């Protein structure tokens, strides 16, 4: 998590631009398009952000959905939306990086103007509470003794879950079998029904399922506050920090001052202690990547990482 003074600086810079358009922004409700169906992590976060946006900036954040193609339908239409800052769209990594490399999906990664990344759902290996796999070492030992026999559910091919499986298999010198399901919910159902031995899920699975599951490790720099007893992969010798990152993008026609202002607004929501508690209790992890040089560097780093994993997974050429 970024330091509080950094977030404050981002807010001050973005909201203090002095440009006339940004000074009046937002002048009406803001349409927040989620390029997935309702009920997923992107929707959950948007719903949590709504009251804070209203309270801090005096306008409604109106959530709507444009599902299809794992987000591609929405992102392909992003730059056709109004560019006054009153139309914004949720974005998701690795989707906006991997999907354009898989074929014609109507957009390229560089077409997506990200103004803020506000959280990620850390990757985690999750097992059924009654599993004989009590630790990450148990899982690795079993996988080494039984190549490809350890089945792990996850949310689709080319997703953060799938790429995490590829990366960890290489780190641990093991071969597991990834079973792709349509979404996290279906992957969890397969785990709870003992259709698979484990799941490449997120910390949000641990938050939602409680005592039904056990997380063996989380892909974070430090332990998640909601799960102080669950070690990180790094603690266990695997340099792995990964997950599905989420943020907000605007059409390319959006003026620079409005981009900066919106970035500062989301930073202000992210810095609210009550909002942070809701997010952490739900299993999310906070990040603060603002529009500008930080965003450019973040996107470059993540793109390199995700594309390399996607090639190893035969998801892209």
The per-residue pLDDT for range 197-228, each reduced to its tens digit, is 999 999 999 999 999 999 999 999 999 999 99
271 pLDDT higher than 60: yes
Q: What is the pLDDT of residues 228-237, one digit of tens each?
A: 999 999 999 9
Are the C-beta atoms of residues 53 and 59 closer than 8 Å to each other?
yes
Q: What is the mean pLDDT of residues 287-309?
A: 95
Q: Where do runs of H (alpha helix) occur along the chain?
A: 4-15, 20-23, 41-57, 72-77, 95-98, 136-145, 160-172, 184-192, 203-209, 256-270, 273-281, 293-312
Q: What pLDDT does 7 receive?
A: 47
Q: Which residues belong to CATH 3.40.190.10 in the chain?
A: 122-218
Q: What pLDDT does 21 receive?
A: 56
Contacts 24+ apart (CB under 8 A), 13-21: 13/260, 13/264, 14/260, 14/261, 14/262, 14/263, 14/264, 14/265, 14/267, 14/290, 14/291, 15/261, 15/264, 15/265, 17/257, 17/260, 17/261, 19/255, 19/257, 21/84, 21/85, 21/255, 21/257, 21/258
Q: Please state which CATH number belongs to domain 122-218.
A: 3.40.190.10
Q: What is the mean pLDDT of the chain?
A: 92
Q: What is the mean pLDDT of residues 282-309?
A: 95
Q: How many CB atoms lie within 10 A of CB 146?
A: 13
Q: What is the pLDDT of residues 93-152, one digit of tens each?
A: 999 999 999 999 999 999 999 999 999 999 999 999 999 999 999 999 999 999 999 999
Token duo for residue 30: 């803001």
CA torsion sign, 129 to 135 to 141 to 143?
positive
Q: What pLDDT does 314 receive?
A: 87
Percent of the chain topping pLDDT 70? 93
Q: Give the CATH H-level superfamily of domain 2-119+245-312.
A: Bordetella uptake gene, domain 1 (3.40.190.150)
More confident residue, 11 or 242: 242
CA-angle at 281, arms to 12 and 235, nearest 5°: 90
User: In 3D, which of 56, 116, 107 has the Cα closest to residue 89?
Assistant: 116
17 pLDDT higher than 80: no
251 pLDDT higher than 90: yes
Q: Which residues belong to CATH 3.40.190.150 in the chain?
A: 2-119+245-312
Q: What is the pLDDT of residues 53-109, one digit of tens each?
A: 999 999 999 999 999 988 999 999 999 999 999 999 999 999 999 999 999 999 999
What are the CA-CA distances from residue 244 to residues 4, 219, 228, 236, 284 (Å)?
A: 23, 11, 21, 21, 10
Q: How far, in whole angstroms, is CA 213 from its chain's centroid?
A: 21
Q: What pLDDT does 15 receive?
A: 43
Q: Which residues contact 245 (CB under 8 A, 6 or more apart)?
A: 92, 93, 117, 119, 120, 287, 302
């Amino acid at each position: 998590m970024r330091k509080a003074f950094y977030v404050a600086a981002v807010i001050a810079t973005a909201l203090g631009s002095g440009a006339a358009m940004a000074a009046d922004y937002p002048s009406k409700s803001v349409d927040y398009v989620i390029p997935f169906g309702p009920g997923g992590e992107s929707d959950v976060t948007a719903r949590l952000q709504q009251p804070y946006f209203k309270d801090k900036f005096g306008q409604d954040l109106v959530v709507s959905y444009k599902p299809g193609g794992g987000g591609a339908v929405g992102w392909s239409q992003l730059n056709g939306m109004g560019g006054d800052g009153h139309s914004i769209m949720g974005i998701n990594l690795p989707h906006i990086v991997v999907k354009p490399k898989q074929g014609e999906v109507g957009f390229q990664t560089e077409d997506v103007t990200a103004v803020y990344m506000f959280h990620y759902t850390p990757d985690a290996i999750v097992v059924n509470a009654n599993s004989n796999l009590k630790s990450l070492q148990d899982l690795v030992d079993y996988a080494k003794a039984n190549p490809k026999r350890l089945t792990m559910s996850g949310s689709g091919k080319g997703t953060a879950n799938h790429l995490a499986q590829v990366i960890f298999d290489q780190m641990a010198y093991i071969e597991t079998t990834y079973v792709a399901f349509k979404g996290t919910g279906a992957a969890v159902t397969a785990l709870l029904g003992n259709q698979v031995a484990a799941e490449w899920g997120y910390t949000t699975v641990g938050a939602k399922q409680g005592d039904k599951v056990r997380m063996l490790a989380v892909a974070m720099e430090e332990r998640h506050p909601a799960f102080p007893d669950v070690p990180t992969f790094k603690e266990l010798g695997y340099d792995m920090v990964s997950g599905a990152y989420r943020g907000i993008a605007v059409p390319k026609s959006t003026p620079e001052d409005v981009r900066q202002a919106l970035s500062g607004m989301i930073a202000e929501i992210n810095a609210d202690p009550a909002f942070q508690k809701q997010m952490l209790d739900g299993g999310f992890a906070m990040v603060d990547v603002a529009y500008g040089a930080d965003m450019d560097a973040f996107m470059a780093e993540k793109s390199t990482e995700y594309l390399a994993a996607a090639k190893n997974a035969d998801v892209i050429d």
